[in-house]
Amino acid sequence: MTSETTTRTVVGVVGAGTMGAGIAHVAAAAGHDTLLLDARDGAAAAAVEQVGRRVRRSVEKGRLDEADAEALLARLRPAADLTDLAGCGLVVEAVVEDPAVKQELLRELAGVVAADTLLATNTSSLSVGAIATALPRPGRVLGLHFFNPAPLMRLVEVVRAPSTDQAAVDAAVALVAAWGKTPVVCADTPGFVVNRVARPYYGEAFRLLADPVGGLDPATVDALLTGAGGFPMGPCALTDLIGQDVNAAVNRAVWEGFDRDPRFTPSVVQDALVAAGTLGRKSGRGFLDHTEGADAPQPATVEPCTGPALRPGRGLDPLARRAGWHDQGEEPGSVEVVPTDGRTAAAVEAALGRPVVVLDAVRDPATATRVGAVASPACPPGALAALAAALAPAGVAVSPLPDVPGLVVARTAAALVAAAEDAVESGVTDRAGVDRAMELGAGHPAGPLAWGRDLGDRWVVGVLDALHAAEPTGRYRVPATLRARAMLAADRVSRGLGIGLVAAGPGHGTVRATVTETWLNGFGIVHGGLVAVLADTALAVACNSHGPLTVGAGLDVVWVSPGRTGDVLVAEARERVRYGAGARNGVYDITVRRDDGSGTGDVVAEVRGRTRSVGPVPAPSPDSPPQEDT
């Protein structure tokens, strides 16, 4: 099959279960003659009938023209045998999630179809490359990951294995787009985009519920992620709908796929539900009770009441304005309400030397209906009740929270942004692709990267670092690019010199700047010290990619040629060795080049940088002025 695929292309679908039936429906609706095959006797015919019922319901509801429905159904037929698929230009397999079964099927198919027939797998958790490896022409094998229900869900992840030809990717993208779906091309890595980036949405909620000290319950966690986080469904209700066993299997597959990376550690709470057979709606009980007549559990909510005087802190203006809650100035004994920066309320109180109420994150202060809050230890009694009274006029309820780092919504937001940044940094897909996939495939109200832009890189990094300080397992590590952007946004010297980030990753960093008049010394030559600042910035990006706070401990600069006005200078730092406690001390090779667009411009300076760890980074005080992210 070539990129000129048209509706004349016959489509084969193997596996007539939930996904296969849906995919065949989509292909036939888009105008393709479609053949549906299943190993079970009668399964393909039953699936065709099921699609027929669905299509006729659409006619009854006025969503589909009768003639179009009949034409669609005339194009969809069950196949009796694999050889019936010989004339197909595309075959999508949606059989059981077993690599041996999929590989064997595709091997047999490859012997039946034409040499240029595109072979796609709908696997959600297996490596497409590993499935393709035993086939004669692996270049035409790729993943087409549809979401359930396929006729309704707009996203299709087009998974490119290292062996997949570009022509096959182009053809699949064109086809998926012609089917009215949104293709997002991604790399063949565990979970692809959605099943990888969505993990913290469940994982952070389950982690909170696993903490017996916190006393949080599923209804409150869900209510905060919907009422303050803006998600259409809370993680507990959503996984009850998906099935705890199904969701746990994806968690485990991604965790195993990433060599048991702590970011994806399966949840003990969820495992316990699965072991007990409480799988969610299908078994009547999961996190929530779904049995007939069961009362919906109510989220923990603070009763509004008069209490100590409260004043809204910086960053709470939109919510305070909406509630008509005015800052009365620093009334004696009044307590400031501050937005969370990830630290516990006790830590903020200790840093400021006065009690505070810390508010959990809110996605949109104009529409939020609930917010979580915690009072610091020295807070006068009744502070949360007074907060509830202050926010009641806006229709915003207050849920009391345990004093844990990152609270509920803030930790979820920061972990989602980190997962999204990490996927981009790892080359899974581009920034727009991640956000589109999460909106269309996971139903998030906005992509995590767009949310991260609203929250600010420094805030996200601060929350992740606070979570890491409480649980230094690597679960909350900050992607190098995110930390580099946050660092540069806060670095006035680099900003003043116009130094911008090019790239960052584990152990490397590249920055660039254009030499202007201000870089020149009295002899019209670039200040060597400023080139050293450029090199030092690259070094800071590279060495802090492993976690804060590592600093330069020396630069040996060898000048090769002088810089000139108008030069674009690029400094690239790469780790040579890492050693010492926590392996955070290191030696870096840094090259400063004139950028001629090829990446091989003249070398201006060669630099050897040494670094040393100086301990945990101090969190920014809530009193420090917010910085614009650049």
- Footprint of ligand NAD on this chain (CB under 6 A)? 14-20, 38-40, 43, 94-97, 101, 105, 122-124, 146, 148
Q: Which two tokens stand for residue 355?
A: 């009690």
Q: Which two tokens stand for residue 140?
A: 């035409």
Q: What stretches of 428-584 show up as alpha helix (H) in DSSP?
A: 431-442, 448-455, 457-470, 480-490, 492-496, 528-543
Least separation in angstroms between CB 41 and ligand NAD: 10
Least separation in angstroms between CB 233 and ligand NAD: 16
Q: Which two tokens stand for residue 63?
A: 């969503």
The residues facing 311 across adjacent strands are: 336
Least separation in angstroms between CB 97 and ligand NAD: 4
Least separation in angstroms between CB 296 and ligand NAD: 26
Cβ proximity to ligand NAD: between 36 and 385 the closer is 36
Nearest to 556 by CA among 576, 584, 579: 576
Starting at the edge strand that comes first in sequence, how are the strands of the sheet with 370-375 ordered?
310-312, 335-339, 356-359, 370-375, 397-400
Cis peptide before 620 (omega within 30 of 0): no
Cβ proximity to ligand NAD: between 7 and 50 the closer is 50
Least separation in angstroms between CB 20 and ligand NAD: 6
Cβ proximity to ligand NAD: between 44 and 570 the closer is 44
Cβ proximity to ligand NAD: between 17 and 472 the closer is 17
Cis peptide before 273 (omega within 30 of 0): no
Q: Which two tokens stand for residue 109?
A: 């198919």
CA distances from 523 to 3, 126, 235, 302, 532 (A): 60, 63, 64, 69, 18
The SS3 call for residue 123 is coil
Q: Which two tokens stand for residue 366?
A: 């104009």
Least separation in angstroms between CB 15 and ligand NAD: 3
The residues facing 628 across adjacent strands are: none
Cβ proximity to ligand NAD: between 241 and 352 the closer is 241
Nearest to 301 by CA among 369, 204, 349, 362: 369
Q: How far apart are CA 338 and CA 310, in angstroms?
A: 10
CA distances from 220 to 301, 321, 533 (A): 8, 25, 49
Cβ proximity to ligand NAD: between 39 and 469 the closer is 39
Nearest to 591 by CA among 516, 485, 484, 512: 512
Phi, psi values for residue 535, rounded to 5°: -65, -40
Provide the residue type at 270 as one letter: Q
The residues facing 501 across adjacent strands are: 511
Cβ proximity to ligand NAD: between 147 and 451 the closer is 147
Q: How far apart are CA 430 and CA 47, in angstroms?
A: 36
**Reduced DSSP (H G I as helix, E B as strand, rest coil) percent helix, strand, coil of the chain, to 5:** 40, 20, 40
Least separation in angstroms between CB 121 and ligand NAD: 7
Residue 298 DSSP class: P
Least separation in angstroms between CB 161 and ligand NAD: 16
Angle 482-484-485 from CA coordinates, rounded to 5°: 65
Cβ proximity to ligand NAD: between 109 and 374 the closer is 109
Q: How far apart are CA 48 and CA 140, in angstroms?
A: 27
Cβ proximity to ligand NAD: between 24 and 223 the closer is 24
Q: Strand 585-594 relative to strand 603-613: parallel, antiparallel, unpaired? A: antiparallel
Strand runs labelled E in 128-194? 141-146, 155-160, 182-187
Give the catalytic positions in this structure. 124, 145, 157, 195
Angle 494-499-501 from CA coordinates, rounded to 5°: 115
Query: 468 burial class (0-12, 13-18, 19+ CB within 10 angstroms)?
Result: buried
The residues facing 613 across adjacent strands are: 550
Q: What stretches of 516-599 show up as alpha helix (H) in DSSP?
A: 528-543
Nearest to 573 by CA among 529, 614, 610, 615: 610
Q: Which two tokens stand for residue 459?
A: 């805030």
